[in-house]
Structure 1
Amino acid sequence: MGTRLIEGIQITPLKVIPGELGDIYHAFKRSDEGFEGFGEAYFSNVKTGTIKGWKKHSRMILNLVVPVGAIKFVLFDDREGSPTQGMYNEFVHSLENYNRLTVPQGVWMAFQGVGNGQNMLLNIASIPHDPQESENQPLEAIQYEW
């Protein structure tokens, strides 16, 4: 990949199986590396140019796939004692770059719709949504040039 990944981040190439009547896009199997349990799955739509974030989870592991459009993910590690503390990672995921992004607990994330038209992500979360286990900050709280 070339870029050093923040500790705990995984990028998993996903299979696309071409079919005469339509293609199949894999997302996640419980036998895949990074599977830590299933809590819920949801889709999030991101309008082109719109930025959502910053957010970090204290218990939830995110498994993000972009089946529609293109989304730029920006991650920031401020975890005390992490070997990658202070590091940023950037990824653009789409059908042309079809991967699963696994984000561990404690890593800040923001994302932006960068495709034309609809941009959608699928999160296969390790636990059900719990507003008590996440923290939000305004975009200007973490230094990043959007």
Structure 2
Amino acid sequence: MDKITIEGVLLTPLKRIHHPKGDVFHGIKKSDEGYAGFGEAYFSTIHFEDTKPWKKHLEMTLNFVVPLGDIRFVIFDDRENSETKNSFFDVSLGENNYQRITIPPGVWVAFAGVGANYNLLLNLANLEHDPNEIERKENLTDIPYLW
């Protein structure tokens, strides 16, 4: 398991059950650590070598799962009262590292498609999407990190 360097961020190993007619990919159970309720689930894709810039949810807990491809996540903590303020956490998840990353409210996340084929992200969020509870940085360089 990767060493977590941001307070409140969790990496949870997930089961992938192989079956000759199609695999089963676990995502989250309400008994799992990191489960904060259910608001919505959605899928997103990211192309190889593309990066989606920084965003921070003010209330929403994110639970990202990558069942296809590989996606690199970088998380930045700028929370005033956090023990890990000004820390970064960098992890790639996907077919070869099948885990769920739980991202608490108040931290920044950006991600890049590192799989050469199809990169699919599932977010199991505790709240329904609300554009008023998100902060965005339009440029990746707005938070200095060596990608």
Q: TM-score range by the shorter chain?
A: over 0.9
Runs of 4+ in structure 1 off by over 4 angstroms are none
Q: Which residue of 1 aligns with 2:30?
A: 30
Whole-angstrom distance in 2 between the partners of 1:28 and 1:13: 10
In the alignment, is residue 96 of structure 1 matched against residue 121 of structure 2? no
Whole-angstrom distance in 2 between the partners of 1:98 and 1:2: 12
In the superposition, the TM-score normalised over structure 2's length comes to: 0.96
In the TM superposition, residue 2 of structure 1 has moved relative to its aligned partner by: 5.5
In the alignment, is residue 144 of structure 1 matched against residue 145 of structure 2? yes
| CA deviations over 1:67-99 (Å, ceiling 9, x no partner) | 111000000000002000010000000111000
Aligned alpha-carbon RMSD (Å):
1.0
SS of corresponding position for 2:38: coil
SS of corresponding position for 2:141: helix
In the superposition, the TM-score normalised over structure 1's length comes to: 0.97
Tell whether the 8 Å contact from 2:74 to 2:91 is kept in structure 1 after alignment.
yes
Amino acid at match of 1:122: L
Whole-angstrom distance in 2 between the partners of 1:74 and 1:118: 20
Whole-angstrom distance in 2 between the partners of 1:91 and 1:76: 12
Q: Which residue of 1 aligns with 2:119?
A: 119
Whole-angstrom distance in 1 between the partners of 2:3 and 2:64: 19
In the TM superposition, residue 3 of structure 1 has moved relative to its aligned partner by: 2.4
Whole-angstrom distance in 2 between the partners of 1:36 and 1:25: 20
SS of corresponding position for 1:67: strand
Tell whether the 8 Å contact from 2:2 to 2:91 is kept in structure 1 after alignment.
no
Q: Gaps spanning 5+ residues in structure 2: where?
A: none
Q: Which residue of 2 aligns with 1:15?
A: 15
| CA deviations over 1:3-50 (Å, ceiling 9, x no partner) | 242000000000111212221110011111111110000011101011
Number of residue-to-residue matches in the alignment: 146
Q: Which residue of 2 aligns with 1:60?
A: 60
Q: Gaps spanning 5+ residues in structure 1: where?
A: none
SS of corresponding position for 1:42: strand
